[in-house]
Amino acid sequence: MIREQANITNHALRITNWKENMAKEMEAYLQDLRQRKAETLGTEKDIEKQHSKGRLTARERIDLLFDPDTFEEIDSLVLPRHESYPGGKTSRNGDGVVTGYGLVNGRHVFIAAQDVSVMGGSLGEMHANKIVKAMRMALLYGCPFIALNDSGGARIQEGVDSLGGYAKIFDANCEASGVIPQLSLIMGPCAGGAVYSPALTDFVFMTENSFMFITGPDVVKSVMQESVSLEDLGGGMIHSQESGVAHFLTGDDRDCLNRVRQLLSYLPANNKEDAPYVRPVDDPRRLCTELEKIVPTDPHKPYDVRQVIASIFDDGAFFEVHSLWAENMVVGYARLNGHVVGIIANQPMVLAGCIDIKASIKAAHFIRICDAYNIPIVTLQDVPGFLPGTDQEYGGIIRNGARMIYAYSEATVPKLMLILRKSYGGAYCVMSSKGLRGDLLYAWPNAEIAVMGAEGAVNILFRRDVQAANDPQAKREELVADYERKFNNPYVAAARGLIDDVIEPKDSRRVLIRALEVTLSKRERHLPKKHGISPM
């Protein structure tokens, strides 16, 4: 009996020792894992340097973008192919980019955030492979993809492998285009070949202290000699106002990430889904009586079309896109009785609302994004025509104006249009007209739909009559009034079925909501083909 108890005691001790040894072994494994994970982080000095520039680290940005405690990192232990980088420092796990997925507004999103505090965020072969892997996963699972760009550029010591990495990213961008939303955030330097990935995505955000440019030896020399600043070369304001590369300019990292969350609230996860519906508080039968005061009946007086948008759409909320570029055309997202719609509107405050090259490109890009992601389009038209001038002709207004025609014709989503005032000439044709498969088109009673304004028409058609009159000015005014009564009104177009109805301004919200509800079930197919040849 005593011997049996001793055996049991010894056995218990052996088990206890075994468990203690196993725990020690596991702790060693855990310590090794934690050490490897820690190597993915930049040093305190690197992080302080990033903060001194008014920028956050990649992981701080991720924490702000994603819903709390939802981000899961992947490929954190990937190592670069080379042994070390300049300065004798050994390479770190993660290879200078954080990839993974999490929830934004409760929906899954994939991300690749370059970490400039680790190896300068430079792009090498494995760095690129991590980004492409995350993009492929986002595509496979039907989730938006966000790229945070903050990098010193190609990793020189990896040579052509680095360049090949960029090419793989570009190819993945093209493959995902129109299938999942792709957003690029420029939150630091982005130069050389790196700029083409953002250019291939749907939306580009830039912070005020970021920059992007295609560089060369002469440009670099100019910057180093301070004869030109990085901001003048390719800062956020330059690309938001001049080049149009950036769709959004934000003050800092926090502002940028907040705007990204707002944009995602208007976009579907992929091209098979609808944009998020939000149960409306705004009354769908609400009358917009203020519209009669916002839009002057005098076609020569300007007004801000954003006020019209605020009156008609849910709660006056409007998320504008490309607000600083081609300001004569206003585009963005709003909701109509809870449904997301894309708005394209002429802006009489700028160039009288004429369409120029930039406005054509801006509208065409936005139309194609809406169509790709099943977002109905509402066009608010007040346009005197295309902007005349040799600059426009030499710059290719014909080719670029055709982009907008192609985009409207190609779009198979519901297309609604409301003519607020002027609708002249070719500009009438290109903006969601019946000829371009517009679905339901309306006009206010003061709308002028014609080849040109009455005064211009009279000067051409009745020039001799005016010159021969005893009182040329009185004769011109008489002919202008007669022309407006006969031709420059919405009733001629309505009589021929080119618009579906003439409505009172106060009924605009109610009528557009009913039009949207009936067209949401629209199913349209184009002739089968590999792809069309859009004007480029």
Catalytic residue, candidates 193, 235, 342, 438: 193
Residue type, 295: V
Catalytic residue, candidates 178, 426, 456, 469: 426
End-to-end CA gap in the chain: 95
Is 147 noted as a catalytic residue in this protein?
A: no
Kindly list the distances between the CA atom of residue 402 and the CA atoms of 103, 185, 189, 498, 535, in Å, as whole numbers in the listed order: 39, 30, 35, 21, 6
Q: How many CB atoms are closer than 10 A to CB 439?
A: 20
Is 427 noted as a catalytic residue in this protein?
A: yes
Q: At what angle do helices 125-141 and 160-176 cross, to 10 degrees?
A: 10
What six digits make up the tokens of 236? 């956020």
Is 192 noted as a catalytic residue in this protein?
A: yes
For 373, residues 6+ apart whose C-beta sits below 8 A from its C-beta are: 181, 267, 268, 270, 271, 275
Phi and psi torsions of 145, nearest 5° = -125, 135
For 401, residues 6+ apart whose C-beta sits below 8 A from its C-beta are: 355, 357, 360, 386, 426, 430
For 193, residues 6+ apart whose C-beta sits below 8 A from its C-beta are: 153, 154, 163, 166
What six digits make up the tokens of 373? 């992601």
Catalytic residue, candidates 427, 443, 493, 515: 427
Cα–Cα distance between 418 and 416 in angstroms, integer?
A: 7
Is 438 noted as a catalytic residue in this protein?
A: no
Q: Please, what is the Cα angle at 231 between 230 and 234, to 5 degrees?
A: 80
Q: What three-state secondary structure class fits 329?
A: strand
Which H or E run contains 89?
strand 89-90
Catalytic residue, candidates 102, 120, 153, 192: 192
Q: Please, what is the Cα angle at 280 between 276 and 286, to 5 degrees?
A: 135
**Active-site residue numbers?**
192-193, 426-427
